[in-house]
Amino acid sequence: MLQVALLRENPEAVKRKLAVKHFNQIELVDEIIRLDDLRKATQAKFDEVQSSINAASKNIGALMGQGKKQEAEALKKEISELKPTLEPIKTQYTEIERELYEKLVLLPNLPQDEVPAGKSAEDNVVVRQNGDIHPPAGGNQPHWDLIREYDLVDFETGAKITGRGFPLYTGQGAKFQRALIQYFLDFNTAAGYREFIPPFMVNEASAFATGQLPDKEGQMYHVTEDNFYLIPTAEVPVTNIYRDTILQQEKLPLMLTAYSPCFRREAGSFGKDVRGLNRVHQFEKVEIIQITHPDKSGEAFEQMVEHVEKLLQSLELPYRILRLCGGDMSFTSAITYDFEVYSAAQERWLEVSSVSNFETYQANRLKCRFKNDTGKTQLVHTLNGSSLALPRIVAALLENNQTPEGIKIPKALKSYFGKELITK
C-alpha cells in the first residue's frame, strides 16, 4: 500500500508512474489528498474543541477557589454545550479515515524508473538469453504426449477426483516432482535461505497484507465457512510470518525459502497454451523471499535474479530473462524480471519464474518495520521469486531431453532422481 505522504510529496510524479502501469483511476490521487486534507481539518477541529474544554475545566477550579462562583458556573455551562459536539466530529473523522483507506488500497505500487511503459507481454524487454535452441535429438513430442507415453501424470483421474486442472502424478512422474522440489530447496538453503513449511491456507488479513486482496480475489479458492483462502504461492504465508513485527536492523536481510502446493482458479484460461501442464489449478512451487533494509533492496533483487539464473543453468535449459513492462506487472510490484525456458516441441517460451521487488508496498500493509540507526521506526522492503515453479519446468525438461532410450535427467538431478533416464 502506498503512503499518503508519498502522494502529497509529488502527486504529478505519482500520476505519471501510475500511467506506466496503465492504471485507469488516476483521479484517486487527488481524491486521496483531498480526503487527507479533510481528515487533518477535522482532527484540528476536534483538538480545538477538546482544548477549549480542557482550558475551561482547569479554570473552573481556580475560579471556585477565588470565590467566583458565577464565573465558574458559566464555564460549566460552556463545557456542557461543547462536549456533545465532540462525538459528531469524532464520527466524521472515522468516516473520512475509512473512506481514505478504502481508496488508498485501490492504488497499485509505483513502478521503478527503468520499467518500460508497455501495455502487454509483447512489450516486455529481453534482458539476456542463454542456451542453444534446437530440436531434441530423440524426437519432438510435446510434453502431454510424453506424459501419456511414459505414464507420468493421470489428468483424467485427477479430474475425476477433483476437476480439470488438478493433475495426479504417478510413478516416475511423482518421483520426478519430489526430486525437483528437494533439489530446489537444497539449492536455496545452500545459498543461505532458511527453510519453512507454511500453512497452505491463510486468513483474510494475510491475503490482504501481501496484496492478493482485493486485487486477486477472483483468482483464489475461498473456504467460505472459515473465511480462509488456499494460497496461490508460498510468498503469502511466509511473508506474513513478519506481519505486525519490528525487526532488528542487524538481522536484515532475512532470507526465506519454502515449498508449497499452489492453488489458482485461473478463471477464463483456455486454448492450446493451457494444454497439459502449461496451466493448472494446483501445482508445486519453491519460493524464495527476502526482507531487507530499503538501501539494500536493489542489491537483493539482483542477487535473487542471479540465484534463479544459476538454478536454471544447472538444469541445462535454454532460458531468457525479461524485464516486464508496466502493463504486464503485478499490482504490488515495483519491478519484475520473468524467467522463461524454451520448449522446442511447442516452439514457444514458457514462464517458470518471476522475481519482484515490492519495496515498501507490502511492508506498509504488513506493518513490518525495523528501527534504524537513529532509533526511528522504518518500513522494510520485501522481495520474492519463484525458485522454481514446477509444471512448466517439468514440461520443458521432458520436451528438451527426449532420446531414443528415454527422457534424459540433467546431471544436477541424477542423485535426487536415482536414475539417468525416465524410461517407459
Instruction: Give the annotated binding-site residues for ATP.
Output: 264-266, 280-283, 351-354
Identify which of 357, 351, 348 has the alpha carbon closest to the alpha carbon of residue 385: 357
Task: Output the nine-digit C-alpha cell for 268.
Answer: 477464463
Task: Output the nine-digit C-alpha cell for 254.
Answer: 532475512
Identify which of 291, 230, 287, 236 has the alpha carbon closest to the alpha carbon of residue 258: 287
**How far is the C-alpha of 301 from the C-alpha of 147, rounded, in Å?**
36
**How far is the C-alpha of 142 from the C-alpha of 356, rounded, in Å?**
30
Annotated binding site: 233, 264-266, 280-283, 287, 351-354, 384
**How far is the C-alpha of 60 from the C-alpha of 69, rounded, in Å?**
9
Give me the residues paired with residue 41 across strands.
Answer: none
Task: Output the nine-digit C-alpha cell for 411.
Answer: 546431471
Q: Which residues contact 182 (CB under 8 A, 6 or more apart)?
A: 416
Is the distance from CB of 391 to CB of 314 less than 8 angstroms?
A: no
- 193 secondary structure, DSSP code: P
Length of the chain: 424
Spell out the alpha helix ranges (H) of 248-333. Answer: 297-314
In this structure, are strands 245-247 and 368-371 parallel, antiparallel, or unpaired? parallel
Annotated binding site for L-serine: 233, 264, 287, 384
**How far is the C-alpha of 319 from the C-alpha of 131, rounded, in Å?**
6
**How far is the C-alpha of 203 from the C-alpha of 187, rounded, in Å?**
30
Quote the crossing angle between the two packed helices 27-65 and 69-104, to the nearest 10°. Answer: 160
Is the distance from CB of 392 to CB of 352 less than 8 angstroms?
A: yes
CB atoms within 10 A of CB 54: 11
**How far is the C-alpha of 93 from the C-alpha of 181, rounded, in Å?**
51
Scored b (16 or more CB within 10 A) or e, 58-77 reads eebeebeeeeeeeebeebee
Is the distance from CB of 355 to CB of 334 less than 8 angstroms?
A: no
